[in-house]
Amino acid sequence: MNPKLIKNLLESKKDKVCFFDFDETLFLIPTINASKILWKQATGKDFDESKYCFHDSPDSFNDSIIPFELKRSVYKEYLRVKDDSITVILTHRKKHLKKEMKWILDRHGIKMDYFVMENNNGSRTNKAVMILDFLKDNNLKPKMIEVWDDKADVLIDLDKFQQQYGKDFEIKIHRT
């Protein structure tokens, strides 16, 4: 997408930013172990983890093998906010998977304005830090942030984030 177009899009929606986790929030997916079993049943061989763990592999988005069930309650929330907010995928999936993730989203009619994904360096970044970096990198000072996520450890970090930054902008955390 044209950088000027992105800037105009972000500028028009800059007062509210909505972050959606992908796995187990927007989509219900099998566990890693269940996914490996499905992989073996479909291909006849074990998943090769010499290069990637399963969810870091582009193959983990093969929806002819791995089902992606849209979580309707979260999808309804996406529909509610998409026109007047910057919508962002906030995930610990690696950046090299953006194309595959976007493909799954497109198949379900979901268009995100931005993707905040984990670096490919093997470490896991706190999602509150990922949010702050996104806001800083895009020079955004929203009046409201909404976050949808399912993981207990992430939600604890987001609660701390809300306590620390809640005076700067309104924060709503949706536990899915």
Per-residue model confidence as pLDDT tens digits over 101-112:
999 999 999 999
- Give the bridge partners for 103, in sequence order: none
pLDDT score of 120: 67
Helices (H), 28-81: 32-43, 72-81
Distance CA 159, CA 171 (A): 9
pLDDT score of 26: 97
H, E, C per residue of 8-49:
HHHHHCCCEEEEECCECCCEECCCHHHHHHHHHHHHCCCCCC
**Per-residue pLDDT tens over the stretch 66-110:** 999 999 999 999 999 999 999 999 998 999 999 999 999 999 999
* Proportion of the chain above pLDDT 70, given as a percent: 89
Give the DSSP H/E element, type plus range, for residue 156. helix 152-165
Q: Is the pLDDT of residue 157 over 60?
A: yes
The domains located in the chain, with CATH, are 3-28+69-175 (3.40.50.1000), 32-61 (no CATH)
What is the average per-residue pLDDT within 117-145? 84
What is the average per-residue pLDDT within 118-146? 84
pLDDT score of 53: 82
Contact 16, 81 (CB under 8 A): yes
Contact 46, 77 (CB under 8 A): no
Average pLDDT value for the chain: 87
Among 83-92, 112-121, 129-138, 164-173, name the one with the lowest average pLDDT: 164-173
Distance CA 60, CA 29 (A): 10
The secondary structure of residue 95, as a DSSP letter, is: G
What predicted TM-score, i.e. pTM, was given to this entire model? 0.87
User: Which of the given ranges, 50-64, 106-120, 142-156, has the highest pLDDT on average?
Assistant: 106-120
Instruction: Report the DSSP pairing between strands 69-70 and 27-28.
Output: antiparallel
Residue with the bigger pLDDT between 169 and 57: it is: 57
The secondary structure of residue 52, as a DSSP letter, is: -
